[in-house]
Amino acid sequence: MRPSTGSKALWSELLPHEFHSRLKDNSTVYLPLGLCEPHGQVSAFGLDTIKAEWLCERAALRIGGIVAPSMGYHIHESGYHARWLEDEVGDHNPCMTGIPPAIMLHLFLYQLRAFVNAGFRTIIVVSGHSGGNQIDLRRAADLFMQRIPVRVWVRSDPELVEGQFEGDHAGKYEISQQMYLRPDLIDMSARAFESEPGSGGRLALGSDADEASPEHGKLIMEACLDRLCIEADRMKRLQSNETINPISYSVIESIMSELLQSANEWVTAQPWPGQAAVSSQSRWKPYERYAPDRNES
């Protein structure tokens, strides 16, 4: 992903003087969010993380700023996810890196704290995992911005190309992305495993996955990147040098306490309106309606 010039944008790879030089030029940090979850028998688990990382690093190299360490854990069991999992994987173990909403949002607030305390004033969050989770992240970000004078912008990759391409799960959209980004992590012949006992069958593969192509993936990813860079450039021009005192743990705990008051409104806490109920015997039934005080005790 890094060009031949040797330019670096990953926080984890920067020396201190390189970090401060990039920060002085552009106080934007990019946070790639993803997940390990099944994308059919044909694709590696980490597709969501891979595309978020690609977008963040390319944007940082084009516009400036620094890419934070990726978050490869996300919300994917509770609320509307539960019925989706029953339909797409049944009781087969999907081998996911899923965590509960309150844990994810709590950690997310502490990530925002770490960014501000390190000197960043613009925070761009790109989630390769979507469906509604990003709405709850924006809810947390809004509360954070009410207390802290920074800008936090959260989008999933399908939102970046809304009106141009329609996102999906492991269908023509996502499988094309993986074919373009990491063709070594796609093997369409692995569909043969769908018929093997205990394999999980289609493992959430989209019905139009056979229409995927690297050429289509390139169009999607370049459109995503163009939209991301437009926003990153706009936010760069709005940056201020306002001094912000270090944020304490107590401030984050106060924000989280306020966020928990609206837990019954979180998108990831309940089924979609009209969504069929999860079967009573399903392994996903306990997570269908999420309440932090009940589900995390």
Q: Are 140 and 257 in contact (CB under 8 A)?
A: no
Return the residue matching tokens 């401060």. Answer: 20
pLDDT, residue 242, reads 84
Return the residue matching tokens 């890419």. Answer: 67
Q: What is the CA radius of gyration of the chain?
A: 20
CA atoms within 13 A on the CB side of 9: 28
- Interatomic CA distance for residues 16 and 219, integer angstroms: 36
Q: How far is CA 210 from CA 95, 132, 170, 214, 215, in A?
A: 24, 26, 10, 12, 14
Domain ranges of the chain: 11-165+224-263
The pLDDT confidence band at residue 241, using thresholds 50, 70 and 90, is confident
- Interatomic CA distance for residues 228 and 31, integer angstroms: 13
Q: What is the mean pLDDT of residues 265-275?
A: 95
Alpha carbon 84 to chain centroid distance?
A: 18
pLDDT, residue 185, reads 98
Nearest to 135 by CA among 86, 87, 77, 75: 75
Alpha carbon 32 to chain centroid distance?
A: 6
Write the Ramachandran bin of 206: left for phi over 0, alpha for psi from -120 to 50, otherwise beta.
beta
CATH number of the domain located at residue range(s) 11-165+224-263 in this protein = 3.40.50.10310
pLDDT, residue 295, reads 57
The DSSP letter of residue 281 is T
User: Tens digit of pLDDT for each residue in 155-201?
Assistant: 999 999 999 999 999 999 999 999 999 999 999 999 999 999 999 99
Q: What is the mean pLDDT of residues 83-96?
A: 96
Per DSSP, the three-state class of 236 is: helix
Q: What is the mean pLDDT of residues 6-11?
A: 86
Alpha carbon 173 to chain centroid distance?
A: 16
pLDDT at 141 over 60: yes
Torsion of CA 58, 61, 230, 219, to 10 degrees: -30
- Interatomic CA distance for residues 214 and 183, integer angstroms: 8
Q: For all residues of the chain together, what is the average pLDDT?
A: 95
Strand partners of residue 124 = 30, 153
The pLDDT confidence band at residue 294, using thresholds 50, 70 and 90, is low
Helix ranges restricted to H, 128-213: 133-147, 157-160, 172-181
pLDDT at 2 over 50: no
The pLDDT confidence band at residue 296, using thresholds 50, 70 and 90, is low
Q: What is the mean pLDDT of residues 136-151?
A: 98
The pLDDT confidence band at residue 36, using thresholds 50, 70 and 90, is very high
- Interatomic CA distance for residues 162 and 184, integer angstroms: 28
